Structure 1
Amino acid sequence: MMELLKVDTVEQVMKKMEDYFKDLVLEGQEIHIADALGRILYEDVEAPLELPEFRRSTVDGYAVLAKDTFGASEGLPTFLNNIGKVEMGKSTELIVNSGECVYVPTGGMLPSGTDAMVMIEHAEHLDELTLAVYQSVAPGENVMQVGEDIQKGEILLKRGRKIKAQDIGALAALGIEKITVFERPKVAVLSTGDEIVDPFSKVQLGQIRDINTYALSAMIEEFGGEIVHRLVIQDEYNQLKEKAAEVLKDCHVLVISGGSSVGTKDVTAKVINDLGTPGVFVHGIAIKPGKPTIIGKTNHKAVFGLPGHPVSAIIVCKVFLGYLLDRLQAQEAGEHKTIYAAAAANIHSSPGKETYQMVILEDQNGEYLAKPIHGKSGAITLLTKAHGYIRIDTNKEGIEKGEKVKVVLF
């Protein structure tokens, strides 16, 4: 008699993952900032110095004592003696007294005694020494003060931040050459099935090109993971167990696609249980698509048994494996791009299941409409057409037309 799956809710699965995988951790590694784009910070980065390190002009113009310009206008200018200029990229020993000024280029250092900058457009040389100022400035105007950008010891970037191009610029500005990031989570992807074949070889009628190995590997790399093995093997117990035990030595997470339901040839759960303790702790989730998902742990390694149908496998990978990889890298769970849209039609859910509905987004008069698209879980083009998905909670009967929904973007 076929065994029935004892399903957990999505919330129960997340809680179990927190408990079972609490000892699964990643190490930190030091890298050069030139290689840091997209990596995840392992520890906070503190500013080793103030930025800027000197008072800096934000405009081309003249460094002045602001009080000397008070009341200046087009009809009644203030006259100052120009006593010199500051060279770009050089310090200055000039000292400015009341009634004097100094030319300073954008980014240049303000000389001692000055507290503001008059833009070059608001001043005019009457002769080599005399400058007419036609607009008043306030103290600090057009000037970046020492430490105004960041103070020494201030946290520049927090642990768990995914490094962006602008972050690398800030690190360079502070003279930080190397940072410590999380090592990439190492993941092996095995697809099982007697019918699954190399997508680039000659395919016989009845055979299916391997989709999941490539799609899941790409998604895992989007999550920051590193694919250390990517294989297709037959849906046979001894072969699957042998290969799984072999690749587990090199990875933090093993993903097995196919063989997760309770049919006679679905051996993934038995393999996970026999690889080591504690074995399978989730077999069946109240989710659509993806109900027969397996999650287990063997000797401090995480193992996921995903459905063989591509849509189901990719959704489960995004929701649950993505959650784990985020947690391992100290990122807030669910930190994915989302937008809000109005449902373009009534959307039904499956009773007792958390439903993930693929949608297409359309811009209508400046507002987004989310149009549901439907297809079988084996139809990979369902995902290529979709811009994202909406999640319908277990206890919600569905979405009404016009209702605001949150769309998680692919």
Structure 2
Amino acid sequence: MNSLDHRAGREFFTARTVSDALAGFRPARRTAVEPVALADLLRRVPAAEVPAPGALPGFPRSTVDGYAVRSADTYGASEGLPSYLDLAGSVRMGTAPEVAVPPGGCVYIPTGAVLPAGADAVVMVEFTAQTMPGTIEVTRPVAPGAGLVRADEDVAEGAVLVPAGRPLRAPDLGLLAAAGVTEVPVHARPRVAIVSTGDEVVPPSTPALTAGQVRDATASALAGLVRDAGGEPVLAGIVPDDREALEKTLRVALADADMVVVSAGSSVGARDETAGAVAALGEIWCHGLAIKPGKPTLLADCGGVPLIGLPGNPLSALVVFRLVGAPLVWRLAGCGAPPPEPSTRARLSRDLASAAGRLDVVQVTVRDGVAEPLFGPSALLSVLTRADGFLIVPEAATGLDGGSEVTVTLYR
């Protein structure tokens, strides 16, 4: 769907809501699948469910230091009337038991050791005493299954160890290791080409600026957000405000990337050539989001490769990419839903005005449970560097009252 209408040399558009963009702009492209070793799997996205090759832990084991018993032999035991059991031996760690638990008997067992035959429970050592050699006094009864885990209690054979479509976390790696799975097919990291535009934009390495020049700060920050979202940023350089040059650069980027981000080239104005160049390469889904900051955002599908044209101001560009671009990167890597970001509840320090139908993203600091809004022009990156996180004024709201409780998404 192309919502652009070029009349009298100007570009008109109807802004889409952020929720519409997240729900409706969903290119089908996915990255290729590659095998990755266990040590490098953190935050990678499995392409398919990984089944357990066997049960875990694989044998019944004790979860406490104590005595393996037949639970029926402990029924009625108390400090005033203990049960007395014959000590039949002990179990060593890392080996199969060489002794069984006979009726009226018990076997000493450390945490993690294999449950000996005949036992159906383990009494914690704290509830026992050795009153005489070879005799154990039990002062508390145990039910079947107490103090132990079954052979398949952690994971049954054939059960799903890790699901498809969710980034792997540290505990997932531990479970894979426990099951002996040392390689998993995952989606490749999406390659995200970042194209900077503007006659005034120069590389960060420029030692001295002339009047009107600005170093390209946005591309470096975007690269960091791409990495956070599991992607591989590719800095494609700086293009002047020239439609033909931009179109040529975008063609090259689209041929080698899973996603393209155009930095500082989506503002509606006489010098903006992004929309025209993109329209020649694909279908523009929308040019304009009902968000502050970040309204002049462009979304397009170029032969299956998603393209985002970001606002020229750094703060606006980074806010939009975090909300809309990062979920797209995760989606390209086969992730059903982006992993949740850390958040906290806080009390708003002052009233916040907003316009209905527009989503407002407000940078805040959080101190002693109070969220203090930070304001400043969208050209100032320092607003973001001073913020602890951001809050959102929903599209349906006309503002938030001071003193109200809000959710703050925290920056890692």
- Report the TM-score when normalising by structure 1: 0.91
| Residues 352-361 or 382-391, more deviating | 352-361
Partner residue, 2:379 = 378
Which deviates the most, 109-118 or 398-407?
A: 398-407
- The separation in 2 between residues aligned to 1:409 and 1:130, in whole angstroms, is 59
The one-letter amino acid paired with 1:6 is F
**1: distance between equivalents of 2:352 and 2:251?**
43
Q: More deviation in 218-227 or 146-155? A: 146-155
1:186-217 deviation per Cα after TM superposition (whole angstroms, max 9, x unaligned): 10001111211222321224221111110001
Where does residue 345 of structure 2 map in the other structure?
340
**Deviating more after overlay: 123-132 vs 312-321:** 123-132
Indicate the residue corresponding to 1:69 in structure 2: 74
**Match for residue 7 of structure 1?**
14
Identity of aligned residues (%): 36
Mapped to 1, the partners of 2:161 and 2:339 lie a distance apart of: 23
* 8 A contact 1:229–1:247 mirrored in 2: no
Quote the Cα distance in structure 2 between the aligned partners of 1:66 and 1:334: 44
Give the aligned partner of residue 323 of structure 1: 327
Q: d(CA) in 1 for partners of 2:11 and 2:344?
A: 37
SS in 1 for 2:10: coil
Alpha-carbon deviation of 1:219? 0.4
Q: Which amino acid letter does the alignment assign opposite residue 115 of structure 2?
A: L
| 1:35 equivalent in alignment to 2:36 | no
Is residue 17 of structure 1 aligned with residue 18 of structure 2?
no
Aligned to 1:156: 161
Counterpart AA for 1:384? T
Residue in structure 1 matched with residue 239 of structure 2 by the alignment:
233
- State how far apart, in whole Å, the 2-side matches of 1:193 and 1:228 are: 18
**SS of residue matched to 1:161:** coil
- Determine helix, strand or coil for the equivalent of 1:249: helix
Give, in whole Å, the separation in 2 of the partners of 1:117 and 1:337.
40
User: Contact 1:213–1:231 at 8 Å: present in 2 too?
Assistant: no
Tell me which moved more, 283-292 or 216-225: 283-292
Q: Which AA in structure 2 matches 1:209?
A: R
Q: How big is each residue's C-alpha offset from its partner over 1:353-390, in whole Å with a ceiling of 9 and x where there is no partner?
A: 32211122222xxxx32221100000001111112222
1:5–1:284 Cα contact (<8 Å) kept = no
Matched, 1:291 2:292: no
Q: Distance in 1 between matches of 2:328 and 2:152?
A: 39
**Cα distance, 1:346 vs structure 2:** 0.6
Q: Does 1:167 align with 2:172?
A: yes
1:262 match: 268
Residues 30 and 178 of structure 1 are in contact (CA less than 8 Å); yes or no, is this contact kept in structure 2? yes
Aligned 8 A contact 1:213 1:232 in 2:
no
Map 1:371-410 onto structure 2 (within 5 A): 371-410=372-411
Alignment check: 8 A CA contact 2:267 2:312 kept: no
Aligned mates of 1:171, 1:149 — CA distance in 2: 12
Given that residues 33 and 186 in structure 2 are in contact (C-alpha distance below 8 angstroms), is that contact kept between their aligned partners in structure 1?
Answer: yes
Partner of 1:354: 359
Match of 1:302 in 2: 306
Residues 372-381 or 132-141, more deviating:
132-141
Counterpart-to-counterpart distance in 2, 1:351 and 1:102: 71
| Superposition deviation, residue 302 in structure 1 | 1.3
**Cα separation, 2, equivalents of 1:60 and 1:163:** 33
Distance 2:355 2:197 in 1: 28
Shift in alpha-carbon separation, 1:343–1:334, aligned structure 2, 3 A: farther
Equivalent position amino acid for 1:83 in 2: A
Secondary structure of 1:84 counterpart? strand
Q: Distance in 2 between matches of 1:125 and 1:228?
A: 69
State the one-letter code of the partner of 2:154: D
In 2: Cα distance, 1:352 partner to 1:142 partner: 57
Alignment deviations for residues 237-280 of structure 1 (CA, whole Å, 9 cap, x no partner): 23222222112221111111112123222111111122x233x2
Secondary structure of 2:204's partner?
coil
- Show structure 1 runs of 4+ deviating over 6 A: none
1:136 maps onto 2:155 in alignment = no
Say whether residues 1:97 and 2:75 are aligned partners: no
Q: Distance in 2 between matches of 1:386 and 1:165?
A: 28
| Secondary structure at 1:166 match in 2 | helix
Normalized against structure 2, the TM-score is what?
Answer: 0.91
Equivalent-residue separation in structure 1 for 2:12 and 2:345 (angstroms): 34
In 2, the alpha carbon distance for the partners of 1:58 and 1:333 equals: 36
Contact 1:80/1:130 (CA < 8 Å) preserved in 2? yes
Q: 1:243 aligns with which of 246, 249, 267?
A: 249
Contact 1:9/1:285 (<8 A) preserved: yes
Distance in 1, Cα, partners of 2:357 & 2:90: 75
2:259 to 253, 256, 277: 253
Report how far residue 310 of structure 1 moved: 0.4
Inter-partner Cα distance in structure 1 for 2:312 and 2:215? 12
2:39 alignment partner, SS class:
helix
State the Cα RMSD in Å. Answer: 2.0
- 1:47/1:156 contact within 8 Å kept: yes
- CA distance in 2: counterparts of 1:334 and 1:111, whole angstroms: 43
Paired amino acid for 2:92: E
Q: Hey, what does 1:108 align to over in structure 2?
A: 113
Per the alignment, in what secondary structure is the counterpart of residue 221 of structure 1? helix
Aligned residue number for residue 219 of structure 1: 225
Give the conservation status (yes or no) of the 8 Å contact 1:296–1:302: yes
Q: Count how many residue pairs are aligned between Structure 1 and Structure 2.
A: 401
CA distance in 1 between partners of 2:221 and 2:205 (Å): 15
Contact 2:30 2:331 in 1 (8 A): no
How far apart in 1 are the matches of 2:292 and 2:120? Answer: 65
